[in-house]
Structure 1
Amino acid sequence: MSLTPSNMLPLGTVAPDFKLLDPRDGQLKTLSELKGAQGTLIMFVCNHCPFVVHIESAMADLGREYADKAINFVAISANDVIAYPQDSPEKMAQKATELDYRFPYLYDESQETARAYQAACTPDFFLFDGELRCVYRGRFDGSTPGNGVAVTGSDIKAALNALESNQPIEQKQYPSMGCNIKWR
């Protein structure tokens, strides 16, 4: 495990399009079909990273909280599954079912989507407005494995709530920290 911070994609960047496999139903999904009317949260995660495992229940809860709102969530795993078989599409589908993800958990086999988003670590969060312009990038909250800070999702919730209520999003944003994406 290599502790890696987010690259902090510039605010205002337009979300790169993608066409990725959803292991739960075997279908290819695109950003244009998954985006929310008011916004879209793109989350780069994986199954094995302790930083993701630390927040995955809260992330699933947040996804359920927003399931009927106009901000859609999309999780993506881009890890090399040869070196990290626990991140395989089959295990992704199992994880999504176990945690009752109400959002797609897509597989970026080519890693092109992760590179287009400048994703660096898992977890890495990118919130886009209804026009698909980046309004938040960074951490879920200040909790990491072993630091004693409760997992609340406070940073991402503040951004989501501001976007939902058409309020300005805090410009001081902190990078996410986690395991580096396992590049081929």
Structure 2
Amino acid sequence: MLLDTPVCNFGWKAPDFTLKNAYGESFSMSDHLGDKGLLIVFICNHCPYVQRIGQRLAEDTALLMNEGINVLAIMSNDYTLVEADSPDNMKQFAKQYGFTFPYLIDEDQSVGQQYGAVCTPDFFGFNHQGELQYRGRLDDARMDDSANRIPELINAMRMIAETGQGPQTQVPSMGCSIKWRTD
């Protein structure tokens, strides 16, 4: 099911969490909330929207990380329902696209629920105080036209790093619905 993210709730405080990656290493949100902010992105392996932006996501986040903006990715899908999103497949997916950020498993789906994540990809850009300032999309590229794109996420995160505030106008991200457990 195709969904759009809701409008940014400016100033919403990010709840702390600790999640593990597919290798069993723990990462906490509070440890990654740096002086220039933090980007949290909810993604998964099987979503065609995430696959379509995978390379650009890897490049854009590497650029942000080089500028001191931290990045965490979270997979909240029920991977017992969608085998393609399993931890072993997360390792392969991250390697395939060259992700340099931690790619974390939200095993009980509590973080996705706390954040109100609705789709993959779903971007949350926080300032250094953990206040939400961006809930938009990666860029304005259509499915295959990325040559002349406007890198909206990069621009927003740079603005947040510099001023603590995100852009007032944001275009929602869209993607596949998160696969929530039904039991």
Distance apart, 1:7 and its partner CA? 2.5
- Equivalence map 1:14-163=2 (5 Å): 14-23=13-22, 25-145=23-143, 149-150=145-146, 152=149, 154-163=151-160
SS in 2 for 1:135: strand
SS in 1 for 2:19: strand
Distance in 2 of aligned mates of 1:122 and 1:158: 20
Distance in 1 of aligned mates of 2:155 and 2:44: 24
Deviates more, 1:56-65 or 1:28-37: 28-37
Q: What do residues 108-141 of structure 1 show as CA deviations (whole Å, max 9, x unaligned)?
A: 0111100111100000000000000001112112
How many pairs were matched up? 180
Distance apart, 1:144 and its partner CA? 4.4
Match of 1:181 among 174, 178, 181: 178
Distance in 2 of aligned mates of 1:18 and 1:95: 23
Q: Structure 1 residues 183 and 67 mapped into 2: Cα distance closer, same or farther (>3 Å)?
A: same
Distance in 1 of aligned mates of 2:134 and 2:167: 8
Distance in 1 of aligned mates of 2:27 and 2:150: 26
TM-score between both structures, scaled by the size of structure 2: 0.91
Q: What do residues 132-177 of structure 1 show as CA deviations (whole Å, max 9, x unaligned)?
A: 00011121123343xx542746211110121233275320111111
Asked whether the equivalents of residues 128 and 161 of structure 2 are also in contact (C-alpha less than 8 Å), the reply is: no
Asked whether the equivalents of residues 142 and 149 of structure 1 are also in contact (C-alpha less than 8 Å), the reply is: no
Q: Structure 1 residues 105 and 153 mapped into 2: Cα distance closer, same or farther (>3 Å)?
A: farther
Distance apart, 1:3 and its partner CA? 0.6
Q: What is the aligned-residue identity percentage?
A: 37
Look up the equivalent residue of 1:62 and give its one-letter code: D
Asked whether the equivalents of residues 7 and 118 of structure 1 are also in contact (C-alpha less than 8 Å), the reply is: no
Distance in 1 of aligned mates of 2:115 and 2:72: 13
RMSD between superposed Cα atoms in Å = 1.7
SS in 2 for 1:21: strand
Asked whether the equivalents of residues 54 and 144 of structure 1 are also in contact (C-alpha less than 8 Å), the reply is: no
TM-score between both structures, scaled by the size of structure 1: 0.90
Distance in 1 of aligned mates of 2:8 and 2:165: 18
Show structure 1 runs of 5+ residues with no match: none
Show structure 2 runs of 5+ residues with no match: none
Distance in 2 of aligned mates of 1:65 and 1:124: 19
SS in 1 for 2:41: strand
Distance in 2 of aligned mates of 1:91 and 1:36: 29
Moved over 4 A (4+): none
Deviates more, 1:122-131 or 1:10-19: 10-19
